Chain A
């Protein structure tokens, strides 16, 4: 099996300009995390193991460090107008304290990133993928034009964690200054403890209930110690750290796209099943291209697949019908919750209906598959 040894990786690290570390780096190492390079950051891939961390998120409460994600602040008189220009979502009805999922597209309707935008009293926060932060900063600068706004990148000054799982909200109700259960889905609240300010968002990327918390770095480290000390007191071992490996398997079960797998500059939101996040009543960069795709219908659609057999269909695997290639897998995994192979794939529109039988060509072997509606997993209501 070919991989870089830790020494080779360490050598690369010292040769390069250096990877970024979140403020929780020491915590991860102290908990035995396997650290990997991700989008220019050293992040924990796993602690105990991807599968136990995944399962714990579905049964208890897991905490993830997501500080590597970009946090961009837009303020000034034209902040809203500019965001309306560059985002697919219509923010006209967004209340203070509310968040929306949106895409950033180019003129062809190709996806530059998927983001969450939140409205504060005097500014907007855009949380973006770590891998696209630099690209978006350049894109926003290039399209600033005469819009009068200020863009501040607060990524390196702040930290972000997310607590997810069926026991997450109840746990945080006990630990936070104000109850997490008071915060509505896709809304957020500004809270504070002594002089530490933080924002608590009722959202996540796992298919479980939970929150995402953003705060300054000093407060973050104190906050993490507090969560673990108190979390351990109130129910021992309830709160467990989970890494990026489990984050990926969880979001896939929840049918959520990942930039770089399901989304990229060659795919559009309509084909990706994200038309609900694309305004029909607003002009923005890419709006005419996307209207056209909506009118004509996308040529390919993102679907879920149940794959038979023990082998995982990975990114790039061909999807076939009667020997003809009709699509490509974008992500695949042996689902820890469902106990079977699942995958997301772009498939020609004619064969994208649920229950359509297809095949996937896994490393030369054909496995039977069937199209299924997303998500694969929905949490018990």
Chain B
């Protein structure tokens, strides 16, 4: 299934979607495929300042623990309580109910990020 075209992608397998003064961030289906069953997400505290390309949290699966990277500078506006309660939402619906955090950001220029087509070309799902 091709990645949704209404958002941007990073080489560290996060997606983000601008929504007003926030961007919503999650991980891609490709990442979910690599991780297998997700058991836990370590979230940052709401309000915490984030830097682009720096770690904002960690995601644990049965197999391994991986870092999550913020795509843009900003601060944590909201974390997904649903995923906090049930991390398997990320496996089930990584682009919808499995979103991870919303970052309040002043960033507007996203031209350096991958489009859905570029991401899928670079990281085809097996």
A100 at interface (Cβ–Cβ under 8 A)? Answer: no
Q: Which of B60, B63, B68, B123 contacts A245 (CB 8 A)?
A: B63
Contact yes or no, A6 B124, CB < 8 A: yes
Contact yes or no, B67 A1, CB < 8 A: yes
**Nearest chain A CB to B83 CB, angstrom units:** 13
Interface residues on chain B, number (Cβ under 8 Å): 30
B126 at interface (Cβ–Cβ under 8 A)? Answer: yes
Contact yes or no, A333 B62, CB < 8 A: yes
Task: Kindly state the separation between the CA atoms of A46 and B62 in the bound complex, as whole angstroms.
Answer: 12
**Nearest chain B CB to A107 CB, angstrom units:** 36
Q: Using a CB-CB cutoff of 8 Å, which residues 6-41 of chain A contact chain B?
A: 6-7, 34-35
List of B residues within 8 angstroms of A49 by Cβ:
36-37, 91
Contact yes or no, A51 B65, CB < 8 A: no
A180 at interface (Cβ–Cβ under 8 A)? Answer: no
- Identify whether the interface residues of B are mostly helix, strand, loop, or mixed: mixed
A249 at interface (Cβ–Cβ under 8 A)? Answer: yes
List of A residues within 8 angstroms of B37 by Cβ:
49-51
List of B residues within 8 angstroms of A245 by Cβ:
36, 62-63
B113 at interface (Cβ–Cβ under 8 A)? Answer: no
**Nearest chain B CB to A31 CB, angstrom units:** 15
Q: Which of B33, B36, B39 contacts A312 (CB 8 A)?
A: B39
Task: Kindly state the separation between the CA atoms of A245 and B63 in the bound complex, as whole angstroms.
Answer: 7
List of A residues within 8 angstroms of B17 by Cβ:
none
**Number of contacts between A and B (CB, 8 Å)?**
63
Task: Kindly state the separation between the CA atoms of A264 and B30 in the bound complex, as whole angstroms.
Answer: 33
Which one of A1, A2, A45 has the highest number of Cβ atoms from chain B below 10 Å of its Cβ?
A: A1
Contact yes or no, B60 A5, CB < 8 A: no
A145 at interface (Cβ–Cβ under 8 A)? Answer: no
Task: Kindly state the separation between the CA atoms of A310 and B42 in the bound complex, as whole angstroms.
Answer: 9
Per-residue contact bits, chain B 42-82, to A (CB 8 Å; 1 contact, 0 not): 10000000000000001110111111110000000000000
**Nearest chain B CB to A78 CB, angstrom units:** 44
List of A residues within 8 angstroms of B42 by Cβ:
311
**Nearest chain A CB to B117 CB, angstrom units:** 15
List of B residues within 8 angstroms of A50 by Cβ:
36-37, 62-63
B27 at interface (Cβ–Cβ under 8 A)? Answer: yes
The 8 closest A-B pairs by CB, nearest first: A6-B126, A1-B66, A5-B123, A51-B37, A334-B39, A50-B62, A310-B40, A50-B37
Give me the interface of B with A, judged by CB distance under 8 Å: 12-13, 27, 30-31, 33-37, 39-40, 42, 58-60, 62-69, 91, 122-126
